[in-house]
Amino acid sequence: MSNGTGITVLSSNFRLDWFQSLCGNDYFWDDEKFWSKDKVEISNCFIDTALKWPPIFLLIAFSPYLLYEYFALAKLHPPISWNCSSFLRTLMCFSLLGFGLARSIHQTASSMEQNDTLANIIASWLSVIAFALLFSLTLLQRKCRFANCGLIWFYLLISIFCDALIVAFDRRTNNQSYNLIEFVVTFLLFVLFSFADQTHNVSIRNSDPNPNIDVKSNYKICPKEFASIPSKLTFWWFNQLIITGWRRKLTEDDLWNLSLRNSCQSLSKEFRSIWKHPSFMDKNSIEYKLLQERNENENSIHKIAKVRLWTLLSKMFFIYFFMPNFARLIADLLLLANPMILKFVSLKIFLLMAFAKINNF
């Protein structure tokens, strides 16, 4: 509607068309209730969608890449032995899965009595899927020796932030106790995953019966490989080398070996295995063809078709090309979504935000 000055002022609350089937008559966002001086409120539809879905979709979207990393490292290192930290992580993930499953069954069974919306039921079952995936990734993390997974840590971090808002603003009595328990368990899991796994007596596994990789007995693994996520984010794992270099001159014994997976021996071995695959040749057996043509004509070797090197490299490093571009696509989509969201926001919000920023000076 127009305010007489040529500026279109949208309603302070809105309900997206495709949310009507999920949230019923509930509004997705209400400016007046959110910016109220007496009591700040967030709609149930916003809680069941905008606060529940993002961490779940983050975990599901990047799990294929994480599984790829898990099984790649499982060939090089034996499993991490059970300890108090890994046992507590696994136990709490299993408890969170059982709690989420019981909550979903209870809410689904009593949805008619409690007048729960479809968005609330979907959110509870999506949480069960996320908890099951979290439990599976925790088990694989120990088995495949992928210590201190960043995806799980960021999932728990975002979940804590969203769960804190849900506990603060969800007024539904049938959800309050569930939300509080989920928040406490998620927070404890976040604390446990913020510490590094105990990886003493690190050993290296070479799955090749005829190894081309020379694994030394004094192999020194870089501490970054088994550092905690906060340590990686702050480069705390690098402090020991800096302190040692400040006290005395660094020697070769102070340096670390390159990770076995990124070593030239390992990469060249993978390259050769893909190189010999028939799908990357224009002939099924290039060695046989070379010998055959050499016997017929010494100059015929120049007629051999070229190897598709780009296809070979794409297969070898596909996951490293795909995942950064996929993350960039999500970031670009979020940037494009900002104008679509802002057009539903009343001009009063911008005035209140400007007034709040002025008061900060």
- Of residues 338 and 353, more confidently modeled: 338
pLDDT number for residue 352: 55
131, pLDDT greater than 50: yes
| Mean pLDDT value across residues 113-135 | 89
| Mean pLDDT value across residues 187-206 | 72
* Long-range pairs of 100-106 with CB within 8 A, sequence gap ≥ 24: 100/124, 100/127, 100/128, 100/131, 100/182, 101/128, 101/131, 103/127, 103/178, 103/182, 104/128
Residue 230 and residue 187 share a domain: no
Cα-based distances in Å from 44 to 113, 182, 219, 338, 346:
17, 17, 55, 22, 20
250 lies in some domain: yes
Spacing of C-alpha 269 from chain mean position: 29
Q: What is the mean pLDDT of the chain?
A: 76
| Mean pLDDT value across residues 276-301 | 53
209, pLDDT greater than 70: no
215, pLDDT greater than 50: no
190: pLDDT confidence band, cut at 50, 70 and 90? very high
Residue 13 backbone dihedrals phi, psi, to 5 degrees? -130, 150
The tokens for 95 are: 């408890």
- Of residues 51 and 9, more confidently modeled: 51
Residue 230 and residue 179 share a domain: no
CA distance 334 to 266: 38
227 lies in some domain: yes
207 lies in some domain: no
- Of residues 248 and 273, more confidently modeled: 248
The tokens for 137 are: 């990734």
28, pLDDT greater than 90: no
Residue 33 and residue 134 share a domain: yes
- Of residues 46 and 181, more confidently modeled: 181
pLDDT number for residue 317: 81
pLDDT number for residue 185: 95
347: pLDDT confidence band, cut at 50, 70 and 90? low
Tokens 């446990």 locate to 192
47 lies in some domain: yes
The tokens for 331 are: 């970031």
- Of residues 198 and 67, more confidently modeled: 67
pLDDT number for residue 311: 75
pLDDT number for residue 166: 93
293 lies in some domain: no
How many domains are contained in the chain?
A: 2
Residue 239 and residue 136 share a domain: no
79 lies in some domain: yes
Residue 45 and residue 183 share a domain: yes
Sign of the torsion angle spanned by Cα atoms 320, 321, 324, 329: negative
Q: Are 205 and 76 in contact (CB under 8 A)?
A: yes
Sign of the torsion angle spanned by Cα atoms 68, 73, 76, 80: negative
Distance between terminal CA atoms of the chain?
Answer: 35
CA distance 103 to 178: 7
CA distance 332 to 338: 10
CA distance 148 to 227: 7
- β-strand partners of 66: none
In sequence order, the 6+-apart residues with CB closer than 8 A to the CB of 293 are 300, 301, 303, 304
Which one of 88-102, 105-119, 201-215, 317-331 scores highest in mean pLDDT? 88-102
Residue 85 and residue 40 share a domain: yes
Residue 231 and residue 90 share a domain: no
The tokens for 356 are: 């709040």
Residue 247 and residue 191 share a domain: no
In sequence order, the 6+-apart residues with CB closer than 8 A to the CB of 78 are 145, 203, 205
Residue 230 and residue 160 share a domain: no
Q: How do residues 250-278 score in pLDDT, each as one tens digit?
A: 888 888 887 777 778 778 887 877 776 65
305, pLDDT greater than 60: no
116: pLDDT confidence band, cut at 50, 70 and 90? confident
Residue numbers of the domain that contains 191: 21-199
24, pLDDT greater than 60: yes
Residue 25 and residue 169 share a domain: yes
pLDDT number for residue 280: 55
For 306, half-sphere exposure in the C-beta direction (CA atoms, 13 angstrom radius) is 4
Residue 247 and residue 126 share a domain: no
CA distance 312 to 314: 5
pTM listed for this prediction: 0.75
351 lies in some domain: no
pLDDT number for residue 88: 92
| Mean pLDDT value across residues 233-245 | 90
In sequence order, the 6+-apart residues with CB closer than 8 A to the CB of 131 are 93, 96, 97, 100, 101
Residue 176 and residue 234 share a domain: no
67: pLDDT confidence band, cut at 50, 70 and 90? confident
pLDDT number for residue 198: 61
Q: Are 310 and 321 in contact (CB under 8 A)?
A: no
Which one of 53-67, 207-221, 262-276, 324-338 scores highest in mean pLDDT? 53-67
158, pLDDT greater than 80: yes
49, pLDDT greater than 50: yes
344 lies in some domain: no
**3 state SS of 14:** strand
